[in-house]
């Protein structure tokens, strides 16, 4: 049975607070995996708020890129691993290898973007598989970044699509998927899977 729980929602929806309540509920050791990189004062303040709201006795691992390595490292640990958040991790991976548009032209640029997206999605599949296999329960927080307007630049559009595809991969692997709206979580996978099963059954 999968040990992965995926929590999604919009900005300031309450998803991180819910994830922390869920992680603390079993009263077992918690390893908090922070994927954020602090580049400016605004991000520093966001990180500080997250630090202040979670229990000080939780173990902290700061890892912006090598999430699979973190899961492997704690494969045999008992307790909970809370990853916050997946979309920052995706952003870090994307920016780490993003091709300069000025250096590439037309088809070459598009092919480079496609190769980069496939590489990142393979990282997601690896992390998703590990989360199902290791001993601790894994809780991952992600964002719904595609609910707004279509971004006006290629990088943002690539990121939006990448986040949507990554969330689908993780959602399929998770035992439970929660959507948090206005501070209230709703478990959506069971009902969604039942609907999909009924529709696919009609096609047979």
Number of folded domains that form the chain = 1
155 band by pLDDT with thresholds 50, 70 and 90: confident
Is 161 labelled as part of a ligand binding site?
Answer: no
Containing domain of residue 140, as a range?
A: 4-203
Is 62 labelled as part of a ligand binding site?
Answer: yes
The DSSP output letter for 55 is -
| Residue written as token pair 């973190």 | 70
Q: b/e map of 4-19 (b: 16 or more CB within 10 Å)?
A: bbbbbbbeebbbbebb
Residue 133 has what pLDDT?
Answer: 94
Please tell me which residue in 29, 50, 117, 121 is annotated as part of the active site: 50
Give the number of other Cβ atoms within 10 Å of residue 109's Cβ: 16
Residue 62 has what pLDDT?
Answer: 94
Closest CA relative to residue 66, chosen from 137, 117, 127:
127
Task: For 40-98, write each residue's pLDDT tens digit.
Answer: 677 667 767 777 677 889 999 999 999 999 999 999 999 999 999 999 999 999 999 88
Is 35 labelled as part of a ligand binding site?
Answer: yes
Q: Which regions of the chain does DSSP assign to beta strands (E)?
A: 4-9, 30-34, 59-62, 80-84, 137-141, 176-181, 184-187
Full-model pTM: 0.90
25 flagged as catalytic:
no
C-beta of residue 86 within 8 angstroms of C-beta of residue 144: no
CATH of the domain at 185: 3.40.50.300
Residue 1 has what pLDDT?
Answer: 46
Cα separation, 43 vs 105, whole angstroms = 33
Higher pLDDT, 204 or 104: 104
The DSSP output letter for 77 is -
Give the number of other Cβ atoms within 10 Å of residue 51's Cβ: 12
Cα separation, 110 vs 80, whole angstroms = 40
Is 201 labelled as part of a ligand binding site?
Answer: no
Higher pLDDT, 115 or 6: 6
* C-alpha distance across the termini of the chain, in Å: 27
Is 12 labelled as part of a ligand binding site?
Answer: yes
């Amino acid at each position: 049975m999968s040990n992965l729980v995926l929590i999604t929602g919009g900005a300031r929806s309450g998803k991180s607070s819910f994830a922390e309540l869920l992680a603390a509920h079993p009263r077992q050791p918690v390893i908090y995996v922070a994927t954020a990189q602090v580049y400016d004062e605004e991000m520093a303040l966001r990180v500080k708020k997250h630090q202040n709201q979670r229990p000080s006795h939780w173990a902290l691992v700061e890892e912006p890129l090598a999430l699979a390595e973190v899961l492997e490292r704690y494969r045999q640990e008992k307790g909970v691993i809370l990853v916050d958040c997946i979309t920052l991790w995706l952003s870090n991976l994307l920016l780490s290898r993003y091709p300069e548009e000025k250096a590439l032209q037309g088809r070459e640029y598009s092919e480079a973007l496609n190769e980069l997206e496939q590489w990142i999605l393979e990282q997601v599949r690896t992390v998703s598989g590990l989360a199902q296999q290791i001993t601790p329960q894994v809780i991952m927080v992600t964002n719904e970044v595609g609910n707004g307007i279509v971004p006006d630049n290629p990088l943002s559009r690539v990121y939006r699509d990448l986040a949507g595809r990554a969330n689908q991969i993780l959602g399929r692997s998770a035992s439970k998927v929660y959507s948090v709206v206005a501070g209230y979580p709703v478990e959506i996978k069971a009902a969604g899977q039942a609907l999909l099963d009924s529709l696919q059954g009609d096609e047979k």
